[in-house]
Amino acid sequence: MNVRSSQSLRAYVVLEVSPHGCQWRVVCCPFCGRPHWHGAGDDPTQARRFLGGRVSHCNPSCGGEYELVEAA
């Protein structure tokens, strides 16, 4: 069984801005392969403050955590 620690899991994200605020879109969840969204506040110039460790939306009961990393 191949088990990876949550510190090694990265979820690459892209900032999406709308009139309703900012969200980080997980391009491909390392757990399920689907996209997810995480809040990033209202100000796009401050959105990077919301990067870092998060709980995945598809796997929270199993302690599914990853680090949000801005995609290049």
Instruction: Classify strands 65-70 and 52-55 as parallel, antiparallel or unpaired.
Output: antiparallel
The tokens of 49 are what? 């403050």
Q: Which residues contact 31 (CB under 8 A, 6 or more apart)?
A: 56, 58, 59, 64, 66
Whose tokens are 């919301």? That residue is: 50
Centroid of chain to Cα 16: 12
What pLDDT, on a 0 to 100 scale, did the predictor assign at position 8? Answer: 72
pLDDT in tens, 13-39: 999 999 999 999 999 998 888 899 999
- Record the pTM: 0.80
